[in-house]
Structure 1
Amino acid sequence: MGDNKGMDRRGFLKTAAFSSLALGGAAALAGCAPAAGTDGGTALSSTGDIAWDKEVDVLVLGSGTGAFAALVAAAKGAGSVCLVEKGTMWGGTAATSGGGLAVPLTYAAADAGVSDSKEEIVKYFKNASDGRVDEAVLNSFIDNGSDFIDWISEEMGWKFVASPLFGDYYEPMEGWIPMGRGSLGAANADGPMIASQMWEEMKAKMEGYGVEILMGTEATELITDGAGAVLGAVCGDQNIKAGSVIVATGGFDHNDEMRAKYHPFKIMATNAVPTNTGDGQLMGMAIGANVSYMDRCWGAPAILTTGDDPATLIAEGTIAQEIAGTDWAMYRGLPGAVVVNKKGRRIGNEAGPYDLFNQAFAYYDTGEPGHVNIPAYFICDAACWATYSLPGHTVGAVGEGDGSYFDETYGGEATDPAEVPAHFVQADTLEELAGKLGIDPAGLTAEIAAFNENAAKGTDPVYHRGEKHLDINTTGVMAGSRTDLANPVLAPLATGPFYGAIYVPGTCGTAGGLTINENAQVVNTAGEPIEHLYAVGNCSSGVSGGTYVHGGISLGSGGVMSWVAVNHAMGATA
């Protein structure tokens, strides 16, 4: 990936392949039988003696943003640290990401010549979140962000660099700046890293400090005393006593019941790991914790490549595990491509931020009651198909294809352009394509005719595609920074055959969870801290009011608030 410091653009945003890690575990302490467990999402209150199998100073639940918490605790001498991970893959969803961290007012921004201030950051977050942000928590994030980045840079030997890609998403809201807050990329001595590399290095570092890591171990209950203070947690078949418990169990993307209860429209695909089932939220609520922003997600729409029937996903409220089709901006914003609904109408600015585009699915048609944009349809023409790689369709090897971000990052041996993947349909005319996809033919042809007339001139008077900074400096880069077009992200859909695929709302994580205060302490429904309990990452209420303010906010806020949580816990127990 490109940036002003000459770093390789591939390094920071490339989606890591899922890695398989050996299943870890630890035997229960000899002679101690665990107390009888209950179903997940319940609380085990202490009404007498509890048979503890293990005692630690800090217990971290989850290895995504939880890895930051465990590392900080171990390195700063918080005492004995145990991290439990429900799955068998180290790092959870975090380790499958590009690894960019959104943290403001850092040396990386200063190195890039970015001019910014706390006042402008607060203004931007408040405007982007429609005033939903908790200003005390936001201030804590801003005030501690630079210290966290300085510390982890020294601790890990990393160098962070600011990039113009995936900057502030809500342009032109007051407080917006083009770069410097979002997606800081990390590099080690060998060069830029993606998240999987970062998480492996953190794992090795914390193991060197003696952190006990229990893989394949699910936390099911928080154990409290009679006053409601947290004493520890049930993890697998062990009761683990802890001075502080830091919950970092991720979102609830794969919990059908919770999505149906909290989300305002159907989420049909996710690239979050399957273990993200809302465990932390449910355990916290069981002991009286408050929750916030449960209606929000980190939106990541997708071309549906899994073969799932969209009608079934909608009717049954289930979700597809989608990796290849997740659309960060390298599909819908390509020249010669659009996304339309069943009426044939475009649904938004295809070159804009993925989370903002995902919000277009929330539109409710009051004339024909229903979410008319769900599902939607990706459509491109023959020129786009021949020029760009798409899921299951690769135009050439790395460095020998279209020159786009997708080809440089994911490219491999070229596929036969005549072979159409099963998740795409092909047709000689738009009318025929509409019939195959279930789109109104008259609506589609009229929409594309109007779109083409403007696209040929490089304009989009409806959604203003290509007019914003991110359109050009993120989507445009992924499209190869075209100089042969009047607008680098716009071209007519002029030549058949045409190609189409089902396009659905998705997530890379849910954005609501246990309500935290400025110390990352979980609070109850009265707003009072629950003693010894902290939450960070996607299982918490976060720092941005559930709003995807810029790329990397989930990882960045998770890291900073892990720093805040550990420092508070150490001060509180010193």
Structure 2
Amino acid sequence: MPGERKAETMEEVDLLVCGAGAGGMTAALVAALEGLNVVLAEKTAQVGGTTSTSGGTTWVPGTHLSEQAGVPDKVEDARAFLESVVANRGGARLREAFLASGRAAIEELDRKTDVKFVAAAAHPDYLDGPGAAYGGRALGPVMFDGKLLGREDFDRVRPPRREFMGLGGMMVGRNELGALLSPFASLANLRSTLGIVGGYVLDRVSYKRGTRLLMGNALVARLLYSLRKAKVPVLFESGVRELMIEDGRVVGAVLEGPTGTRRIRARKGVVLATGGICWNRKIRERLFPAGTRDYALGPQTNTGDGADVAMAVGARFDDGGDSPALWMPCSSYTRPDGSLAVWPHIILDRAKPGLFAVDAKGKRFVNEANSYHDFAMGQIATGAIPAHLVCDAAFMRRYGMGMILPGAGNLAAMLKAGYVIEAKTLAELAGRLGCDAKVLAETVEAYNRSASTGVDEAFGRGSSVVNRFNGDAEAGGSNPCLGPVGAGPYYAMAVRPADLASSAGLAGDEFGRVLNEEGEPIAGLYACGNDLASIFRGTYPGPGTTIGPAMVFGWRVAKHAAGKLTDQPETVSGVMTDERTKNATL
């Protein structure tokens, strides 16, 4: 069998976790809480992976936090919702395990660790349907003071994307942006601005960036802080190179680190949480659609190591269902230092009234207000790569677009950088985009007719809950997502799909055990996070539906390795009811 070896090992532990993103860190932390001797190995010099640069929203239905927030969520509603979204694409057994354990996982982390969330009272699921929730399921990480980590460990937290930090290193929440952009509009705005900026200035005396951590950075820092309290060793710059096999069982792994090769034997097993396929060129070329293979939001060190070492010992690779990845439309430009600045268009511009997207012909091709994944899936389905977001000057001043902030104070710099195109007339804009001027004019005319009636007959923009939530109800129209495109100048910005997470990955069972080509578990081998194929089969139900399963399956993996989840599942009408599930929901 590939990887077969019986070499002497330098160390022996109960559980070896490879990869320090949300899934791997949760697995290591919960295993330590269960009394296991755990080692967490991270390929890079920093923890966090893609989680650290994300919004950190974590989708877990039916938690006690939803009750505390006054928007109690029921698992049976989430089950009905997922049945309508995922339908017959498969994976029901894993989704049921996720639903069965979500509440218990979040409760235990809340009670025993410094990993803290708050359920959003208003953060809708991305699709309408039976059981869809307006609030309660999306959990936001509580802000964290990075100084609690100490300077050395604070530097171990992978920072957010440069584009998401102000003044060279300051994190700002979405609800704080307005005050910072208009500090003198009110006394409250001024106080908020002085508090945030003043704290940041003080931080920079001793730290490389601000220590007021939000979103995914807060989640990662809280996990690291909790791991340190639990005395879990973290081996940095130690990537998994090979799995060790004895008698068909994974008994450890070979790591490559700064001091060379390191062999660690693991009595309970090895957990792969290396960040998914991400920048694995071989898999990207095989699975990813044309136009999407050169853009990813994960760290470039995420090269699909977990998939490679697992397949080398006979693991089955799952193509992810509807899509091998989960997507965000992103704009970009090259900085003077040669690096690429990338902006994911999540919620701040696409759904606002007065913006539309066109393909190479100058035609609309999708509901622009849909979730980032569904917008990008529209690009892939129609070949609109790149597509262009188009707006007028009034829109640009009010909302901004991409890295151009409301007020458009940095518009001139972004024009010079080639990030955005400006044209005085639609005909000129069509020329610059390379499309037919008549077609673009007809597109604007049709769009403005929809704006006047409030009904988008072509794509249904503004007809869903999440559309309206991300629109602008204060704009004055009958549809918060539709507004007229007025006089020039006009602006266009190119966007391309970039994968934010893998959907394709290692096939696994409800315990996170990796399966072989025959569908049987490989003894001693687990996966979670993006290394495990998505339980939503290429669909994207709501905010945080990558981190939520990553953490819940990290919890389940740890519990199984500790012997707390042991029985085989039985189902009644598709719902697991055995003793194992009862244990999982305590």
TM-score by length of 2: 0.78
Q: How does 1:224-373 map to 2 (within 5 A)?
A: 224-225=245-246, 227-236=247-256, 237-243=261-267, 244-267=269-292, 268-294=294-320, 295-306=323-334, 324-364=342-382, 371=383, 373=384
Report if aligned partners of 1:424, 1:501 keep a CA contact under 8 Å in 2.
Answer: yes
Q: 1:415 aligns with which of 410, 413, 419?
A: 410
The 1-side partners of 2:464 and 2:475 are apart by: 17
Residue 384 of structure 1 pairs with residue 395 of structure 2: yes
Point out the structure with the larger helix share. 2
- Counterparts in 2 of 1:13-92, with a 5 A limit? 43-46=2-5, 49-64=6-21, 65-79=23-37, 81-92=38-49
Partner in structure 2 of residue 103 of structure 1:
60
Q: Distance in 2 between matches of 1:353 and 1:424?
A: 22
Partner of residue 201, structure 1:
222
| Contact 1:329-1:352 within 8 A present in 2 as well | no
Shift of 1:362: 2.6
Give the aligned residue type for 1:143: A
Q: 1 CA distance for matches of 2:121 and 2:489?
A: 35
Alpha-carbon distance in structure 1 between the residues aligned to 2:398 and 2:47: 37
CA 82–157 in structure 1, closer or farther in 2 if over 3 Å, else same: closer
Distance (Å, rounded) in 2 between the aligned partners of 1:86 and 1:164: 37
Which letter maps to 1:146? R
Amino acid at match of 2:251: L
Instruction: Check the 8 A contact 1:307/1:423 in 2, yes or no.
Output: no
Q: CA deviation at 1:88?
A: 2.4
Contact 2:115 2:222 in 1 (8 A): no
Give CA deviations for 1:290-325 in whole Å, capped at 9, x if unaligned.
Answer: 1223442121111233489xxxxxxxxxxx996642
Check whether the contact 1:167–1:179 (CA below 8 A) recurs between aligned residues: yes
Q: Which of 419, 442, 450 is residue 446 of structure 1 equivalent to?
A: 442
Could you tell me whether the CA contact under 8 Å between 1:43 and 1:222 is conserved in 2? no
Q: Distance in 1 between matches of 2:414 and 2:299?
A: 30
Determine if contact 2:393/2:488 at 8 Å carries over to the other structure.
Answer: yes
* TM-superposed deviation, 1:440: 2.5
User: Is residue 339–residue 350 contact of structure 1 (8 Å, CA) maintained in 2?
Assistant: yes
Q: 1:488 to 1:321 in 2, by over 3 A?
A: farther
Q: Which letter does structure 1 place at the counterpart of 2:499?
A: T
Deviation at 1:125, TM superposition (A): 1.8
Distance 1:122 1:258, change over 3 A: same
Amino acid at match of 2:327: G
Go from structure 1 to structure 2 and tell me whether the alpha carbon gap of 1:239 and 1:157 turns closer, same or farther (over 3 Å shift): closer
Does the 8 Å contact 1:536/1:542 carry over to 2? no
Which range is displaced more, 530-539 or 247-256?
Answer: 247-256
- Equivalent position amino acid for 2:92 in 1: E
Moved more, 190-199 or 162-171: 190-199
Q: Indicate if the aligned counterparts of 1:83 and 1:211 stay in contact, CA closer than 8 A.
A: yes
Instruction: Give the C-alpha shift of residue 334 in structure 1.
Output: 2.5
The one-letter code of the counterpart of 1:44 is: G
Inter-CA distance 528–432: structure 2 relative to 1 (3 Å threshold): same
Unaligned runs of 5+ in 2: 146-211, 567-586
Counterpart of 1:424 (choices 410, 420, 425) is 420
| Structure 1: gaps spanning 5 or more residues | 1-41, 309-319, 365-370, 402-413
Matched AA of 2:461: R
Whether the 8 Å CA contact 1:100–1:552 is kept in 2: the answer is yes
Matched-pair identity in %? 31
2:549 is matched with 557
Paired residue for 1:15?
A: none
Give the whole-Å Cα distance in 2 for the aligned partners of 1:54 and 1:573: 27
Change (3 A) 1:500 1:189: closer
- Which residue of 1 is the match for residue 109 of structure 2? 152
Residues 481-523 of structure 1 show CA distances to partners (whole Å, capped at 9, x for unaligned) of: 4243332222122120111121111221111211111111111
Aligned to 1:269, what secondary structure does the other structure show?
Answer: coil
Q: Is the 8 A contact 2:122 2:136 kept in 1?
A: no
- The one-letter code sitting in structure 1 at the alignment partner of 2:12 is E
Mapped to 1, the partners of 2:365 and 2:386 lie a distance apart of 11
Match of 2:83 in 1: 126
The 2-side partners of 1:142 and 1:445 are apart by 49
Name the count of aligned residue pairs: 489
What do residues 395-453 of structure 1 show as CA deviations (whole Å, max 9, x unaligned)? 45xxxx9xxxxxxxxxxxx4365862421111111111111122222211111111012
Number of the residue aligned with 1:180: 136
Distance 2:526 2:61 in 1: 23
- Structure 2 residue 240 is the aligned partner of structure 1 residue 219: yes
Which amino acid is the alignment partner of residue 285 of structure 2?
A
1:290 to 1:170, Cα distance in 2 relative to 1, 3 A: same
- Following superposition, the deviation at residue 471 of structure 1 comes to 1.1
1:200 deviates by 1.5
Distance 1:426 1:57 in 2: 60
The answer to whether the 8 A contact 1:542-1:558 is kept is no
CA distance in 2, matches of 1:280, 1:151: 27
Residues 6-58 of structure 1, C-alpha deviations (whole Å, 9 max, x = no match): xxxxxxxxxxxxxxxxxxxxxxxxxxxxxxxxxxxx95212xx4031222111
Report deviation, 1:189. Answer: 8.3
Would the aligned equivalents of 2:333 and 2:340 in 1 still touch at CA under 8 Å? yes
| One-letter identity of the residue aligned with 1:283 | V
